[in-house]
Amino acid sequence: MPIKILSEELASQIAAGEVVERPSSVVKELIENALDAGADQITILIREAGKRLIEVIDNGAGIPTVELPLALHRHATSKINDAGDLFRVATLGFRGEALASIGSVSQLTLLSRVQKDDLGASIKVEGGEIKKSSRVGIPPGTTVRVEQLFYNVPARLKFLKTDRTEKRHINDVASRYGLANPGVRFKLYQDDELVFQTSGNGSTREVISAIYGLGTARKMIEVIYEDELLGVRGFISPPGLTRSNRREILFYVNGRPIQDPALATALCQAYHTLVMKGRYPLGVIFLEITPGKVDVNVHPTKAEVRFEDKGEIFKAVGKAARRALLANTPVPEISRLGGVDLWAGSPADRSHIQRGVDPDWGMLERTSQGGAFDPAADSQQIPSSLGTPILRLIGQVAATYLIAEGPDGLYLIDQHAAHERVLFEKFLTDKSGNLPSQTLLEAIVVDFSPASSDLVRENLATLRKLSFDVEEFGGGSFKIRAVPALLKGVSPEEILRAAVEDLEVDETPLEKNQEELIIARVCKKAAVKAGQVLSPEEGKQLLLDLEKCQSPRTCPHGRPTMIHLSVGLLEKKFGRTGAI
């Protein structure tokens, strides 16, 4: 084929491939435009996870009627003039690509009016072609309506995730800009339902409350730090408030949300020894860096930036967070209600839970294996198809493994894996409302982020089947009245969070799997931890329960619950084979 210049439409579609990956990318670009136009009210309407409609309404400066068609033109921008501007951009946008790209893969209507004009104008584009323009009476500001996204690129449509996931991305994007712009009133609706709104009164903590709930907002610790190179301010969670992933660690550079795993790591390191492995803090952190010291034009959606002094910036983040944490000396939380016993049952009912070692700290004490012998090499892992032999408990080692004698030698049982298996099977055999449930003395209200509250809502039926009594309390909060009696002694809030956090990551269409997934997560959270000292009675009970399991030899995640050192192997190791 001869070389030829691509048509404007095709070029835009190719650019759209980079800029408009999914509905939330559109939301991001439109919010940025509204912010660049100086709006202090931004309303976002979404239908069908953005596939049917994304509409962003702002009260910003507007676009003069004569410039309206230009706004939809590729590489048309009012934000920079020359290359020099590129290194001091103060606006969120500058590439002049977004509207053209979005317009090439959707049906886009742009309505705008500047304050001084009496009328505004509207222009409609379909697949990049202008179809209609007219004068309209509208309030000052701009509305961008994007309908039938990807209608002309079916491949893109096919690669979209479930509505739930796409909605979550949209909620995340809107939340991120809301957090960075507390002076702007944001409202986000999904299918007519208000997901969140902010007051626009300038308080970041209030935005945190609107998005993560009041309880979280109250606990967050303020960070304020400054050195010659940069300013670091924002909010981070105290060590007692963590998540199972880093999704709620948000960084901004000069007001622009950015993704930089290394920055998140710098924050997490500040919590070293304060939170257990696998748990992550929450953070909303704004870095202010002289524009010349950071290059924002390295990524098509501007999600990544390049720093001149990367190392120094990470150090400053760590230092800022560490100082804030130390200034707010962590007080270990006994329970949300300050040590009140939430459990109606007697203390003796708290079977092998929370003895001696606080479970949150238990993992840190875990003794490493290895040394004299390597269990993986020197022992046999037992095929999982078999049941367990009758075991006699001998003791516990490293507060993590039970030692038992069986008909053919020595068994080491991982107490956490074993307990997970026991709980898992109890749930599976007794579910459908037959599981005894335990009513809390006082109902507990738990706040979730918009994305997680969707998940709780969607799984309410499953949770009820598992004998949770949970109901929606409004505004992303849920009230827990009762939990399965099996989970006695474990924080109901943590259990509920464990059940739904990250769920979409292991997304699976089969409802049954979803249910098992939830059960497995709950059991993981509720099972006795490594590092917890068990009494001989508790150890024995655990072995008895394990014997009754259908698949006692693996935990629900497939790891072994026990390893076996046969008498034969012991004899060999001690050089006894053949000896008298």
Residues 6+ apart with CB under 8 A from 225: 231, 232, 233, 316, 319, 320, 323, 324
Q: The tokens 């006994």 sit on which residue?
A: 334
Which of the choices ligand ADP, Mg ion, none does residue 58 contact, using the CB cut-off of 5 to 8 A by kind?
A: ligand ADP
Choosing from 47, 52, 79, 323, the residue that interacts with ligand ADP (CB under 6 A) is 79
Choosing from 11, 45, 47, 61, the residue that interacts with ligand ADP (CB under 6 A) is 61
Report the site for ligand ADP in 252-291 (rule: CB under 6 A): none
Report the Cα 368 to chain-centroid distance in Å.
30
Nearer to ligand ADP, 263 or 296 (CB): 296
Nearer to ligand ADP, 29 or 454 (CB): 29
Least Cβ distance, residue 72 to ligand ADP (angstroms): 8
Choosing from 58, 248, 420, 447, the residue that interacts with ligand ADP (CB under 6 A) is 58
Nearer to ligand ADP, 100 or 105 (CB): 100
Judge whether 210 and 195 are in contact, CB under 8 Å. no
Report the site for ligand ADP in 439-468 (rule: CB under 6 A): none
Residues 6+ apart with CB under 8 A from 336: 444, 491, 493
Least Cβ distance, residue 126 to Mg ion (angstroms): 20
Residues 6+ apart with CB under 8 A from 277: 363, 364
Q: The tokens 């990544």 sit on which residue?
A: 304
Q: Which residue ranges make up the site for Mg ion (CB under 5 A)?
A: 33, 93, 98
Least Cβ distance, residue 33 to Mg ion (angstroms): 4
Give CA–CA dist 286/264, Å, rounded.
12
- Which tokens is 255 given? 């007001």
Cα angle value 262/210/144 (rounded, 5°): 85
Nearer to ligand ADP, 35 or 236 (CB): 35
Give CA–CA dist 492/513, Å, rounded.
23
C-alpha distance from residue 20 to each of 14, 56, 97, 102 (Å): 10, 16, 10, 7
Count of positions on this chain that bind ligand ADP (CB under 6 A) = 23
| Nearest-CB residue for Mg ion | 93
Choosing from 20, 24, 29, 539, the residue that interacts with ligand ADP (CB under 6 A) is 29
Decide: is 95 part of the binding site for ligand ADP (CB under 6 A).
yes
Which of the choices ligand ADP, Mg ion, none does residue 79 contact, using the CB cut-off of 5 to 8 A by kind?
A: ligand ADP
Cα angle value 209/210/215 (rounded, 5°): 30
Least Cβ distance, residue 19 to ligand ADP (angstroms): 9
Of 528, 548, 547, give the one whose Cα is nearest residue 419. Answer: 528
Choosing from 13, 25, 51, 93, the residue that interacts with ligand ADP (CB under 6 A) is 93
Decide: is 98 part of the binding site for ligand ADP (CB under 6 A).
yes
Question: In the complex, which residues of this chain contact ligand ADP (CB under 6 A)?
Answer: 29, 33-34, 37, 58, 60-63, 71, 76-79, 93-100, 142
